Chains A and B, each alone.
Chain A
Amino acid sequence: MTLARVQLPASAKRGEVIEVRIAIQHPMETGFRFDISGRAIPKNVINQLVCRYNGVEVFRAEMGSGIAANPYLQFYAVAEASGEMAFEWIDDSGNRGTERAAISVIE
């Protein structure tokens, strides 16, 4: 079960700079650890995360084994039109996750 939380202001003025935050529950397994019987635990990190604002890519992150578990990302975007921010990510084991949040832009 993938769980993520997205936070952005419910409404903003056109042209306003808004803060966008996302936190994803994920072990971000580094590949450098061993289990209790000594077998290497395969690397499994969210290697790519993309955020699209009304279909247009506004943010992309490529992550590696240096990022802690349950990654938290924060960035800024300009509010241009009402709509939604859609996040999509994929980890090394091929699991995809998505999360979206709506924003309404007032003139």
Chain B
Amino acid sequence: MGRTPEGAAGCASYADRFDVFLVFFGMVFAPAAHAAEAQKPLPLKSGVEFASADVRKLQGDDFANPGMLWVVRGEKLWSEPAGTRGQTCTACHGDAPKSMKGVAARYPRVDAGAARLVNLGDRINLCRERNQQAEALRRESDELLALTAYVAHQSRGVPVAVTLDPQNRRDFERGRDQYQKRIGHMNLACTHCHDRNWGQKLAAETISQGHGNAYPAYRLEWQSVGSLQRRIRACYFGVRAEIPDYGAQELLELELYLAWRGNGLPVETPGVRR
């Protein structure tokens, strides 16, 4: 006996509705469940693995890599006197390749003196103010990016290794929550792209896992080197959310969470990204 077309359609629609209900149930309640435990993408893949062959080649060639222009500039600044005392970075830290190796892999971290979370660029500025009695360099200025890129470059190949401790625990938790919070007109959280859909296409782009191990990086879209905060701000723009200012606590906390999430990935500074 054959079923009537109406009956078949009716059965299917009940089944569909149940599926839809399950998916809806998952979407509404899953984020709440995820918020409790922070998850890392597995296997960890640096952003360069999602880049096209030409971008990978550009990053791999230390001469053609335009980010190296900033690194070379940073090297010059490292031994240039600054501030009222006319002191150089070399005076205290000596040769950066020795003294700065592995340093960038441990940032952002809580600075004991300032008693707040700082990233590598902030730390360089604190050093200028405290020890060189020099003015802090403007965020995203070529000078600060050059020094940050130079210092971070010394850690190239060193695995990112931020540690969680009682000092940065609150920052970490807020960063993790921010990462999972839906924001903007698009109503998306970081996790929706970079945990659930990495490797998939977003228009012509391949969605990366959203790691910061290549920053400061040369982004072809910017035609310049930029900080991780600039990149995160671009994501805020992408989901049409209100963009926090440079140096905002929210961005620092996200940086910390991202670093923890990418623990183990080698530092690539200066990376090249599209």
Binding site for B on A (CB under 8 A): 1, 3, 5, 7, 21, 23-25, 27-28, 68-70, 72
Within 8 Å by CB of A21, from B64, B73, B220, B224, lies: B64
Q: Is the interface of A mostly helix, strand, loop or mixed?
A: strand
Q: Are A72 and B73 in contact (CB under 8 A)?
A: no
Apart from A1-B73, A23-B66, A72-B66, what are 13 other A-B pairs with CB-CB below 8 Å? A3-B69, A5-B63, A5-B68, A7-B63, A21-B64, A23-B63, A24-B69, A25-B69, A25-B70, A25-B73, A27-B223, A68-B220, A69-B223
Cβ-defined contact, B223 with A21, below 8 A: no
Number of chain B interface residues as a range: 10 to 19
In the complex, chain B residues whose CB is within 8 Å of the CB of A5: 63, 68-69, 72
On whether A21 and B63 interact (CB within 8 A), knowing A3-B73, A27-B223, A69-B224, the answer reads yes
Question: What's the Cα separation between A69 and B64 when bound, in Å?
Answer: 13
Report the nearest B residue to A25, measured CB to CB.
B69
Contacts of B63 in A (CB 8 A): 5, 7, 21, 23
Question: Which chain A residue shows the least CB distance to B73?
Answer: A3
Within 8 A of A (CB), among B211-252: 220, 223-224
* B64 CB contacts on chain A under 8 angstroms: 21, 23, 72
Q: Which residues of A contact B224 (CB under 8 A)?
A: 69-70
Give Cα A36 to B220, complex, Å.
Answer: 21
Query: How far, in angstroms, from A27 to B70 measured CA to CA in the complex?
Result: 13
Taken together as a complex, chains A and B put the C-alpha atoms of A74 and B23 apart, in Å, by 55
B69 CB contacts on chain A under 8 angstroms: 3, 5, 23-25, 70
A27 to B225, CA, bound (A): 12
Most buried by A among B69, B70, B220, B224: B69
